[in-house]
Amino acid sequence: MLVANRGEIALRIIRACDELGIETVAVYSDADRDAIHVRAADVAVRIGPPPAAESYLRIDAIVDAARSTGAEAVHPGYGFLAERAAFASAVTEAGIVFVGPSAAAIDALGDKLHARRLAQSVGVDAVPGTLQPAPVDRPDAVAGIVAEARRIGFPLLVKAAAGGGGRGMRRVVAESELPAALASGSHEAAAAFGDGAVYLEREIVPARHVEVQLLGDSTGRVVALGERDCSLQRRHQKLIEEAPAPGLSRADRAHVHDLAVRVASAAGLTNAATAEFLLAPDGRFYFLEVNTRLQVEHGVTELVSGVDIVREQLCIAAGRPLSAVAIAAADRAAMPATHAIEVRLSAEDPGLDFAPTPGRITRWVMPSGPGVRVDTAIETGSRVPPDYDNLIAKVMVHAADRDLAIDRLRRALDEVEVAGVQTTLPFDRFAVRHAGFRAARLSTGWVGEEWDGPAHRAAAGRVALVAAATAALDGPGFGPADAPSPSDGAEVSGGTARGPMALDGQWHRLGLEAGVDRWPR
């Protein structure tokens, strides 16, 4: 098995292969020469310099690596080439098995307009909007698209047919903004995806993002393993995901699972995929799109369903039918017995609008204990390169119900210790303590409404200054940078540096003797 990816997902796939006794081939760019996924695989092949376009996105280099190592299958992971039909075709044409849906299914579902029409054809409502590309470059058709926009209602979204990650997306509040939004959205989509087709969609607010994990085998059987709620997002990037979606009745769950299976079956979907829906305030589900790949957040479904989704993918790709475990899990998917939550720990600054913070990790302690799963490929000393996604760990918890899972997540996040780069940990700690999160008042606008990053950062900064001064007085080891430490042989003045006074045997109150001034000047 060649794993055409990096980071935690490459390691996740290598582990599944290891458990099945399958030998693995890693590929890596120069930025990942010392990465954990390279060590974990049986064989590793360099595919290029750090930029993704010259390494992990190079179809030819990866197919060559598969051929030269005698790999019989390729797993794309998520991101990079995972949803490129051309990659699936190139792998298949080289006589190698592609672990994922067929190139035809990727192609059909990758075009969101096509997917919307497909959903409509099997009686699944997509988010209200248009089903054909907007005539962006035909001034004579402006009246028509404006009429369509009026029918849909404002505010609405201009979205890219080939879209993902919010690129090509524009929010339009008034009719007068529409022509400019269509033009700029189309331009951005063309630059990002090589396809400038855009369409209109009603903006549903407040909305929850609910998605259904699907598995399909070569016999044509498609099942749903359960749904996830991924409403906590910022700029269309998910931050926290959970399974099952809180607050749904058994009938709601069965209904949305059925919608997902209908769309996937119509597309002839095999292997693993996820159908995404918006849950409107009136309780209706609207189809958004199908992702024809393993999702970042597949782990929460694994914890609740008991199904190893990557193992299922490998078995399905080998031509086997869905396992008995998967079928049994699908049968009880509408009656989940436990709850799982995942937070994405990313190298981003939540105090600066989640700006990327690449760098070297100098301290790395991940949580453990009951009900905790951490998927990561980072260790102390790892570098987070600026070239790729900023996700550095997925911290998942599993418990009997949602309240217990939140308690467990809070505890687990308190065990995390990371230094060297700023991470999203402060946001995660905030969310897990938030009454609205516990009450499951979730929506895709939650982060923007509840999170004031700069204010939290400033408050922590004030505590940090107190802690820094206190630590230096409390010494040794955190004094002024130019002060010799006792290990340097410098005399501690008067020899009377005293430790903090014990208050109750455990907590200490800082009370250094006046006049103990250990800092030479």
Partner 1 sequence: MAAVRPPAPAGGGTAGALRASIAPGGGPDGLEPVVRGPDVAAGEAWRRLDPDRAVLEVAGERHQVLLPAASAEQRRRAAREIVVDGWRFEVVVEPAARAALRERATRARADGGHDGPTEVRAIIPGVVVSIAVAAGDEVSAGQQLLAVEAMKMQNELRAPRAGRIERVAVGAGRTIEVGDLLVVIA
Task: Kindly list the catalytic residues.
Answer: 293
> For 210-262, what is the HEC assignment?
EEEEEEECCCCCEEEEEEEEEEEEECCEEEEEEECCCCCCHHHHHHHHHHHHH
Interface stretch with partner 1, choices 16-24, 404-412, 437-445, 480-488 (CB under 8 A): 480-488
User: N- to C-terminal Cα distance for the chain?
Assistant: 63
Radius of gyration for the alpha carbons in the chain, expressed in angstroms and rounded: 26
Interface stretch with partner 1, choices 25-33, 209-217, 434-442, 479-487 (CB under 8 A): 479-487
Interface stretch with partner 1, choices 59-67, 189-197, 242-250, 504-512 (CB under 8 A): 504-512
Is residue 456 part of the contact set for partner 1 (CB under 8 A)? Answer: yes
Nearer to partner 1, 196 or 426 (CB): 426
Within a 10 A sphere around the Cβ of 469, how many other Cβ atoms? 12
Q: How many residues bind partner 1 (CB under 8 A)?
A: 60
Nearer to partner 1, 86 or 365 (CB): 365
Is residue 407 part of the contact set for partner 1 (CB under 8 A)? Answer: no
Query: What is the spatial distance between Cα 499 and Cα 146, in angstroms, rounded to a whole number?
Result: 74
Distances 250 to 257, 337, 391, 475 between C-alpha atoms, Å: 11, 12, 33, 58
In order, the DSSP letters of 196-211 are: --EEEEE--SS-EEEE
User: Which residue in 138, 151, 235, 508 binds partner 1 (CB under 8 A)?
Assistant: 508
Nearer to partner 1, 435 or 466 (CB): 466
Query: What is the spatial distance between Cα 500 and Cα 512, in angstroms, rounded to a whole number?
Result: 7
- Tell the smallest beta-carbon distance from residue 187 to partner 1 (Å): 35
Is residue 332 part of the contact set for partner 1 (CB under 8 A)? Answer: no
Is residue 376 part of the contact set for partner 1 (CB under 8 A)? Answer: no
Is residue 86 part of the contact set for partner 1 (CB under 8 A)? Answer: no
Q: Are 82 and 106 in contact (CB under 8 A)?
A: no
What token pair was written down for 235? Answer: 């700029």
Is residue 353 part of the contact set for partner 1 (CB under 8 A)? Answer: no
Beta strands 2-3 and 73-75 are parallel
What token pair was written down for 185? Answer: 């959205």
The residues facing 383 across adjacent strands are 360
- Tell the smallest beta-carbon distance from residue 470 to partner 1 (Å): 5
Query: What is the spatial distance between Cα 365 and Cα 360, in angstroms, rounded to a whole number?
Result: 14
Query: What is the spatial distance between Cα 198 and Cα 166, in angstroms, rounded to a whole number?
Result: 12
> For 372, which DSSP code?
E
What token pair was written down for 379? Answer: 């260790």
Interface stretch with partner 1, choices 90-98, 178-186, 237-245, 451-459 (CB under 8 A): 451-459
Interface stretch with partner 1, choices 30-38, 252-260, 309-317, 473-481 (CB under 8 A): 473-481
Nearest alpha carbon to residue 331 among 247, 261, 436: 261
Is residue 355 part of the contact set for partner 1 (CB under 8 A)? Answer: no
Query: What is the spatial distance between Cα 245 and Cα 300, in angstroms, rounded to a whole number?
Result: 11
User: Which residue in 320, 477, 491, 496 binds partner 1 (CB under 8 A)?
Assistant: 477
What token pair was written down for 358? Answer: 């690449």
User: Which residue in 143, 324, 435, 463 binds partner 1 (CB under 8 A)?
Assistant: 463
Is residue 379 part of the contact set for partner 1 (CB under 8 A)? Answer: no
Nearer to partner 1, 332 or 433 (CB): 433
Nearer to partner 1, 331 or 517 (CB): 517
Nearer to partner 1, 55 or 423 (CB): 423
User: Which residue in 21, 251, 481, 488 binds partner 1 (CB under 8 A)?
Assistant: 481
- Tell the smallest beta-carbon distance from residue 370 to partner 1 (Å): 21
Is residue 185 part of the contact set for partner 1 (CB under 8 A)? Answer: no
Is residue 435 part of the contact set for partner 1 (CB under 8 A)? Answer: no
Nearer to partner 1, 154 or 478 (CB): 478
Please name the residues in contact with 19: beta carbons below 8 A apart, sequence gap of 6 or more.
311
Classify 369 in phi/psi space as left (phi over 0), alpha (psi -120 to 50) or beta: left
What is the contact surface with partner 1 in residues (CB under 8 A)? 351, 362-363, 414, 416-423, 425-426, 428-429, 454, 456-474, 476-482, 500, 503, 506-519, 521
